[in-house]
Structure 1
């Protein structure tokens, strides 16, 4: 299905781009350590910036992790079930737990981000950086997670139960 390819491709692209942020915040931390301990001139901005970059990195990879089935699962009971029953239990889990959570996450993070933007919220401390971009990233991450859930449920509905292997992502290329 083309929509599955689009959603999976979007989260794959976002995941690969956002993974570069890890390199950036690691470089900033190394720079700050060198400046603090070897030059004796600590930065005023590195700590706040790395906290925000890590938050961005962590939150934005939810859809990517779901696409690759990297979230924590406890399959003690379902691993003993037939593939067809396991598939229906997984679909029910998405409908009962995942989608309501993703919806609440998206709604609340949108309100959170808009309030922050309207107030011009900034960090406290020596360097005042805007907070609303990170809060808007929470909303984007919630939407990416929700649409990846749609993709995962679509894959479960479109494939025969015998074709599904537990804990492995379906390749829909």
Structure 2
């Protein structure tokens, strides 16, 4: 189960990271059109905001999988490894899992409401917003299952999660 969850978030993270190039290309194109040709795009700004939002939210599970998220280690840095492990387990059970479950439930409701309304951006070019809002539900689910994977690694004394995992790797 741990391997499958890690593989899913690794694959999603690598796939979504490709959007950074798309995001940069659109910004460069939009800047070129605006300042060199004096013909700004009507869609560039809205599209880059949406791509960045998708990029940012979809990488939460990948970030957690690689332990690259923000942590406050002020207290745990001075603890023994055994005590630190138990504090991290408690943190996942008391804080992370309840937050992730609520985040997932409300994100799905938020996205489905946007889809039902056919929500679009305001402006000259009205782009659909609901794909990004539905992506929040997917991202919340990916974050939740990665949290379960990290909790299981702590409980089972697994340390292999600290090394990068390639899509297709089975541990």
TM-score interval for Structure 1 and Structure 2 normalised by the shorter chain: over 0.9
Structure 1's consecutive aligned runs of 4 or more residues displaced over 6 angstroms after TM superposition are: none
Distance in 1, Cα, partners of 2:115 & 2:44: 23
Give, in angstroms, the shift of residue 170 of structure 1.
Answer: 5.3
Structure 2 gap segments, 5+ residues each: 165-169
TM-score (norm 1): 0.92
Give, in angstroms, the shift of residue 40 of structure 1.
Answer: 1.1
User: Aligned residue pairs: how many?
Assistant: 166
Give, in angstroms, the shift of residue 77 of structure 1.
Answer: 1.3
Deviations 1:58-101 (A, max 9, x none): 00000000000001111121111111111010010001110111
> Which residue of structure 2 lines up, in the alignment, with residue 155 of structure 1?
153
* 1:134-149 matches, cutoff 5 A: 134-149=132-147
- Verify the 8 A CA contact 1:155 1:170 in the aligned structure 2: no
> Which residue of structure 2 lines up, in the alignment, with residue 169 of structure 1?
162
- Verify the 8 A CA contact 1:59 1:138 in the aligned structure 2: yes
Distance in 1, Cα, partners of 2:37 & 2:54: 29
Deviations 1:105-128 (A, max 9, x none): 111111101110101100000110
* RMSD (CA atoms): 1.6
> Which residue of structure 1 lines up, in the alignment, with residue 167 of structure 2?
none
> Which residue of structure 2 lines up, in the alignment, with residue 115 of structure 1?
113
